[in-house]
Amino acid sequence: MAKVVQEVTDWEWPNHTYLLDGTTLLAYIKQGTKEPIWFKHPLKRFSTAGRKFKELKTNPFGEVKTESTVVKVQGSKGNTYEVDTEAKTCTCSGFQFRGRCKHLEEVLK
């Protein structure tokens, strides 16, 4: 389950608002702005050590898609691709070129 936290650490750097799925950082909003910055590849193990946060009740990120819809598959040449079962997309070059691929077809069977 994704949650929205705002950093409240007292230090010299700006405190941003973060969208976390467990310890995975999905996106953030820079302090003083309203536009979310989404990570193409979410950052695993986001460290909160030495920092303070408060959980927000509102969600400024809009619709949140967590990794629960993303399945990692191994291609025939050993490459790892991400298939999104909800959006019906794949990160392989075949899907990017043709809009379909065997990875997506296999996962959706």
pTM: 0.58
Tell me the pLDDT band of 64, cut-offs 50, 70 and 90: low
Torsion of CA 14, 37, 51, 55, to 10 degrees: 110
47 — pLDDT class (breaks 50, 70, 90): confident
Output phi, psi for 4, to 5 deg. Answer: -105, 125
11-35 tens-digit pLDDT: 999 999 999 987 789 999 999 999 9
* Separation between Cα atoms, residue 21 and residue 81, nearest integer Å: 20
DSSP one-letter code for 78: S
Q: Looking at the predicted structure, is the pLDDT value of residue 102 above 90?
A: yes
**What is the spatial distance between Cα 34 and Cα 31, in angstroms, rounded to a whole number?**
8
